[in-house]
Amino acid sequence: MSQSSTRRRNRWFAAGALGVAAAAFAVITAGGIGQNLVYYWGPTELHAAGDKAVGATIRLGGQVAPGSVVYKEGSTLEFDVSDGRSAVKVRSTGVPPQMFREGIGVVVEGTMTSAGQFECQRLMVSHGNEYRAPEKGATPDMRKLMETTQGLAPEASDRP
Amino acid sequence: MTAALGRTLILLALLVSAAGAVVAFAVGRRPTVAGARWAERFAYAFAALMVAANVVMVYALLTHDFSVSYVAQVGSRSLPTWVTIVSLWSSLEGSILFWGLVLGAYVAGATWATHERHPEYAPWAIGTWLACGTFFAFLIAGPAQPFVTVPNPPADGPGPNPLLQNHILMAIHPPFLYLGYVGMTIPFGLASAALLSGRLGPDFLRALRTWLLLPWTFLTVAIVLGGWWAYEVLGWGGYWAWDPVENASFLPWLTATAALHSALLMERKGTLKGWTVTLVMATFLLTILGTFMTRSGVFNSVHSFTQSSIGPTILVFLTAALVWSVATLALRVDRLSAPAGGFEPKSREAMFLVNNLLFVLFTFTVLIGTVFPLIVEATRGVQMSVGRPYFDRMAVPIGVALLFLMGVGPALPWGRATGAEARRVLLPPLFGAAVANLIGLALGVRHPWTLVTIALAGYTAQVTLVEMVRPLRQRMRAQGERLTQALEVQVRQGRRRLAGYVVHGAVVVIITAIAVSSTLGHSREVQMSRGDKVELAGYTLTFLGAEPVAEPHRQSMVARVAVERGGKSLGVLTPAMNYYPNQREPVGTPAVRSSWREDLYLSMVNVDPGRQTLGLHAIVKPMVAWIWGATAVLGIASLGGLLPPRRRREEHGTVAAPAGRPAALPTSR
């Protein structure tokens, strides 16, 4: 009698411990995911998000606006990413990839500063001839752009 | 003509597998000897038809028969022969066809191995395998048909995806992956059969373990080969990025590893039957989920090479397999409950249990991070991905805890251990931990997680070595054998146990190398002109110049970079960028100088042969080569452990250990 009640108590204890562990795991996971989301946005959506966009990791997709590329000292360069409706100023310090040029589709990963400039940590060029700059006023097809951008998976985690 | 032949073979395979599944299940319900023979014949016929269909496709590829739709899609006359053969799995339709080949081979092999030894549940297993075969034959015959006749065949084709023809590893990695992935169908079938026939005895266990370990070995090697390919081709200097497609291969690996361990406990103690069977079924379901993720184009990934309409079909199959798994488990839930009594906390059993919980936790962590963006997009229409820091933050503590268990578990005895006994086995390996940590500190490791990892690696390495050597010492002492003699007996009879510990040792090395290589190292990106020098971690790199090189199937820009260290020349490295006719953007080929200490990794970011400029990403990473080396050891040891234990030769004059208990030492003379 007492043995079986001990066993039952043990079982309840085990179930309780598992429940607590599961809840803790859920909380940690939710927190971990919440803090590490990478949003895929175009310039218009980025502007619409306003201050909410500052600090979050964002993949900004669009076209390198013709005539906007300025090479600075070292490998630093600045350009505008445009979707035909609005544009975002981007500053990149890494060495640009081979195909980088004006008018090409790019995805830049980085963060928005409060000054309204996008600090790019990774600059990726869309490949394949599928990507065309969107018609005036149309939203760019972000999925298409992301899909045709090589090197989205690798992360330059060890960039200086 | 060739296309029609291929279509016919696939249709026959579909018919044979469907008929075979029906026959096999019928025989399972009402066993007859003749019926069982027929089920086996159907299994062999399915395998033969799949082999034939693949032979037809390879023939069409090699003869550049562009009237076959798949050849027109991925073939090209300018390709080297190895690329032409590799094209078989370079695109969706071909890779599903190749899946059929591997499935056929596995089904034939497993049928051959089980039909005589386990006649009571072989029909159920064959039925399940052929039901899966029916689905894949249907995929090939319908949504992913590679044998469509092209009415006006083109003179030449575009060739496969440049990323795939860029490196020889693409000839090796996919077959291993398929051998791992598809092979999980066999334990799934065995588990279903055991449940359906209600036989969950020791026979089932032995078969299950063998047929789980085989694909597990291939999957393990395949995952590392995939990382190696990424390292050698993608040019960012890493081998793992928690990409959805990488996760797709990792998820079933986690559950399969958990199942291998719980099967061991089940074999030893008769507990955790339901749990083990659930893990085996989950592994299969995760391979199908992984196929869905890889092949339906729902993810943005460098690896999702194709988008197609097979996504919904795979989802239907996934749902069916899930319902099947739950239903068969529910059918036998009465026989799966564990015998009364819990585990002693200070025992090997308890460590197995914690190990399993951790693996399942790991699986959930990765699964949630992988499918979260899909759920958000489906419900809120927002596109996003879960960043790498999430995975790293979750995976590192779980991985470290598993490493800890790998040390503590094998050190603890089975059953009940007193506090003194536990101290006697758990304290000495702290010496290994201290030594490892001192070595790490001396070599400049400062990252806290890496130091913890190294300490636990030292602990586990000592336990593993002691456990490897223990039976040898016992033999030498008890029977006065020489070391070589004892070793020979151990390799011949204690193979499974020995293999297990070699695999553990290799995993310790791999985890250490991953921790060290991802936290130590240097990298820089520079824009150079000819003659420029750049310093990185003691290396001096000089850009000597860049030239175009023409090959039949591609044009390359090759840069020559002279490498010096400490005033001594280490030769010239040649990172390159390759242009393929079917893609505007080039594919890089980083140059890697590997040594046991560290890798020097040079990746070309951009190049202008006219102005002789080079954008270079140079990385120095320690210990990377250890990952590849240890994985080779792991694969060989694991396959070696699968060979059945051989009896001792007669001239030694001893009685061999009873088969099936290879860990036991023969004691009689």
pLDDT, one tens digit per residue, over B367-379 is 999 999 888 888 8
Distance from the Cα of B321 to chain A's closest Cα (Å) equals 26
Distance from the Cα of A113 to chain B's closest Cα (Å) equals 19
Higher pLDDT, B294 or B596: B596
* Residue B185: Cβ-neighbour burial (10 angstroms; 0-12, 13-18, 19+): buried
- Asked if B461 contacts B479 with a C-beta cutoff of 8 angstroms, the reply is no
Using a CB-CB distance cutoff of 8 angstroms, which residues of chain A are in contact with residue B385?
37-38, 40, 59
pLDDT above 50 for B179: yes
Using a CB-CB distance cutoff of 8 angstroms, which residues of chain A are in contact with residue B600?
none
pLDDT above 80 for A26: yes
- The C-alpha atoms of residue B587 and residue A150 are separated, in whole angstroms, by 9
Q: Above pLDDT 90, what percent of chain B?
A: 62
Using a CB-CB distance cutoff of 8 angstroms, which residues of chain B are in contact with residue A155?
236, 238, 241, 388
Residues 307-366, chain B: which have Cβ within 8 Å of A?
Answer: 307, 342, 361, 364-365
End-to-end CA distance of chain B: 68
Distance from the Cα of A33 to chain B's closest Cα (Å) equals 6
Among A112-116, B95-99, B114-118, which range has the highest average pLDDT? B95-99
Instruction: Tell me which residue of B215, B377, B370 sits closest to B292, measured CA to CA.
Output: B370
- The C-alpha atoms of residue B433 and residue B213 are separated, in whole angstroms, by 30
Q: What is the mean pLDDT of residues B232-242?
A: 87
A73 at interface of B, judged by CB pairs closer than 8 A: no
For B81, B380, B507, the CA distances from B377, given in Å and listed in that order, are 42, 5, 37
- The C-alpha atoms of residue A63 and residue A140 are separated, in whole angstroms, by 9
Distance from the Cα of B170 to chain A's closest Cα (Å) equals 17
Using a CB-CB distance cutoff of 8 angstroms, which residues of chain A are in contact with residue B307?
147
pLDDT interval class at B489 (50, 70, 90):
confident
Q: What is the mean pLDDT of residues A77-105?
A: 87
pLDDT confidence of residue B308: 58
pLDDT interval class at B335 (50, 70, 90):
confident
Using a CB-CB distance cutoff of 8 angstroms, which residues of chain B are in contact with residue A94?
525, 605
- The C-alpha atoms of residue B3 and residue B150 are separated, in whole angstroms, by 9
pLDDT above 90 for B256: yes
Q: What is the mean pLDDT of residues B338-351?
A: 72
B547 at interface of A, judged by CB pairs closer than 8 A: no
- The C-alpha atoms of residue A146 and residue A60 are separated, in whole angstroms, by 10
Q: What is the mean pLDDT of residues A144-158?
A: 46
CB neighbour burial string for B432-462, b if at least 16 within 10 angstroms, e if fewer? bbeebbeebeeeebeeeebbbbbbbbbbbbb
Token couple for B504:
């553990």
The type of residue at B58 is: V
Cross-chain Cβ contact A154/B584 below 8 Å: no
B449 at interface of A, judged by CB pairs closer than 8 A: no
pLDDT confidence of residue B653: 41
pLDDT confidence of residue B646: 59
Cross-chain Cβ contact B383/A143 below 8 Å: yes
Distance from the Cα of B122 to chain A's closest Cα (Å) equals 38
Q: What is the mean pLDDT of residues A146-154?
A: 50
* Phi, psi at B258, each rounded to 5°: -60, -45
pLDDT above 70 for B650: no
Using a CB-CB distance cutoff of 8 angstroms, which residues of chain B are in contact with residue A95?
525-527, 605-606, 615-617
pLDDT above 70 for A141: no
pLDDT interval class at B338 (50, 70, 90):
low
pLDDT interval class at B569 (50, 70, 90):
very high
Q: Domain residue spans in chain A?
A: 1-36, 38-147
Question: What's the pLDDT tens digit per position in B378-433?
Answer: 888 778 888 888 999 899 999 999 999 999 999 998 888 888 888 999 999 999 99
Using a CB-CB distance cutoff of 8 angstroms, which residues of chain A are in contact with residue B516?
none
Task: Count other Cβ atoms within 10 Å, centred on residue B589.
Answer: 20
Write down the mean pLDDT value for chain A. 75
pLDDT confidence of residue B668: 33
Higher pLDDT, B416 or B575: B575
Question: What's the pLDDT tens digit per position in B97-108?
Answer: 999 999 999 999
Cβ-Cβ pairs closer than 8 A, A with B, add up to 133
Question: What's the pLDDT tens digit per position in B491-521?
Answer: 888 888 899 999 999 999 999 999 999 999 9
End-to-end CA distance of chain A: 67
∠ CA(B519), CA(B366), CA(B356), 5° rounding?
Answer: 95
Distance from the Cα of B647 to chain A's closest Cα (Å) equals 45
C-alpha R_g of chain A: 23
The CATH class of A38-147 is mainly beta
In three-state form (DSSP H/G/I as H, E/B as E, the rest C), the secondary structure along B557-569 is EEEEEEEEECCEE
pLDDT interval class at A159 (50, 70, 90):
very low
- Asked if B118 contacts B1 with a C-beta cutoff of 8 angstroms, the reply is no
Instruction: Tell me which residue of B125, B117, B140, B123 sits closest to B52, measured CA to CA.
Output: B140
If you measure CA to CA, which chain B residue comes closest to A37?
A: B386
Cross-chain Cβ contact A143/B526 below 8 Å: no
Strand partners, A126: A149
Among the partner-chain residues B237, B386, B586, the one whose CB lies closest to the CB of A36 is B386
Q: What is the mean pLDDT of residues B260-267?
A: 90
pLDDT interval class at B456 (50, 70, 90):
very high
Token couple for B506:
């290799």
pLDDT above 90 for B143: no
pLDDT confidence of residue A125: 79
- The C-alpha atoms of residue B598 and residue B624 are separated, in whole angstroms, by 7
Cross-chain Cβ contact A33/B524 below 8 Å: no
Residue B200, SS3 per DSSP = coil
- The C-alpha atoms of residue B641 and residue B263 are separated, in whole angstroms, by 16
pLDDT confidence of residue B343: 66
pLDDT confidence of residue B303: 46
Distance from the Cα of A136 to chain B's closest Cα (Å) equals 22
Among the partner-chain residues B383, B388, B390, the one whose CB lies closest to the CB of A33 is B390
Residue with tokens 């033969």: B48
The type of residue at A124 is: M
**What DSSP designation does B406 have?**
H
Cross-chain Cβ contact A154/B302 below 8 Å: yes
Cross-chain Cβ contact B586/A151 below 8 Å: no
For A120, B355, B359, B602, the CA distances from B515, given in Å and listed in that order, are 27, 20, 19, 21
Q: What is the mean pLDDT of residues B532-548?
A: 95
pLDDT confidence of residue A160: 24
Among the partner-chain residues A33, A99, A160, the one whose CB lies closest to the CB of B523 is A160
* Residue A17: Cβ-neighbour burial (10 angstroms; 0-12, 13-18, 19+): exposed
Task: Count other Cβ atoms within 10 Å, centred on residue B669.
Answer: 9
pLDDT above 60 for B486: yes
Among A68-72, B52-56, B387-391, which range has the highest average pLDDT? B52-56
Token couple for B126:
């064959």
pLDDT above 90 for A133: no
pLDDT interval class at A137 (50, 70, 90):
very low
In B426-538, at which residue ranges do the beta strands (DSSP E only) sit?
A: 522-529, 533-536
If you measure CA to CA, which chain B residue comes closest to A158?
A: B523
Point out the least confidently predicted range of A114-123, B210-219, B446-455, B620-629.
A114-123
CB neighbour burial string for B388-427, b if at least 16 within 10 angstroms, e if fewer? bbbbbebbbebbbbbbbbbbbbbbbeeeebeeeebeebbe
Distance from the Cα of B466 to chain A's closest Cα (Å) equals 34
pLDDT interval class at A140 (50, 70, 90):
low
Cross-chain Cβ contact A160/B525 below 8 Å: yes
- The C-alpha atoms of residue B243 and residue B255 are separated, in whole angstroms, by 19
Which long-range contacts does B335-344 make (Cβ < 8 Å, 24+ apart)? B335/B198, B335/B200, B335/B273, B336/B200, B336/B273, B336/B274, B336/B277, B337/B274, B338/B271, B338/B272, B338/B273, B338/B274, B339/B270, B339/B271, B342/A10, B344/B415, B344/B416, B344/B417
pLDDT interval class at A151 (50, 70, 90):
very low
pLDDT above 80 for B29: yes
Residues 242-261, chain B: which have Cβ within 8 Å of A?
Answer: 243, 246
Cross-chain Cβ contact B368/A33 below 8 Å: yes
Count Cα atoms within 13 angstroms, Cβ side, for B406.
Answer: 31
Q: What is the mean pLDDT of residues B277-281?
A: 95
pLDDT above 50 for B62: yes
Task: Count other Cβ atoms within 10 Å, centred on residue B482.
Answer: 10
The type of residue at B49 is: L
Residue with tokens 């949504």: B143
Cross-chain Cβ contact A146/B606 below 8 Å: no
Q: Domain residue spans in chain B?
A: 1-166, 421-519+635-645, 523-625
pLDDT interval class at A130 (50, 70, 90):
very low
Residue B663, SS3 per DSSP = coil
Q: What is the mean pLDDT of residues B87-104?
A: 92
The type of residue at B580 is: Y
Among A108-117, B46-55, B465-474, which range has the highest average pLDDT? B46-55
Checking ipTM against 0.85, whether it exceeds it is no
Contacts of B543 (CB under 8 A, 6+ apart): B528, B529, B530, B531, B532, B533, B534, B559, B560, B561, B614, B616
∠ CA(B630), CA(B632), CA(B636), 5° rounding?
Answer: 120
Distance from the Cα of B4 to chain A's closest Cα (Å) equals 33
A157 at interface of B, judged by CB pairs closer than 8 A: yes
Cross-chain Cβ contact A127/B389 below 8 Å: no
pLDDT confidence of residue B261: 94
Higher pLDDT, B218 or B302: B218
- The C-alpha atoms of residue B402 and residue B414 are separated, in whole angstroms, by 19
What ranges in B242-272 are assigned the alpha helix state H?
244-269
The type of residue at B115 is: H
Token couple for A157:
């985690």
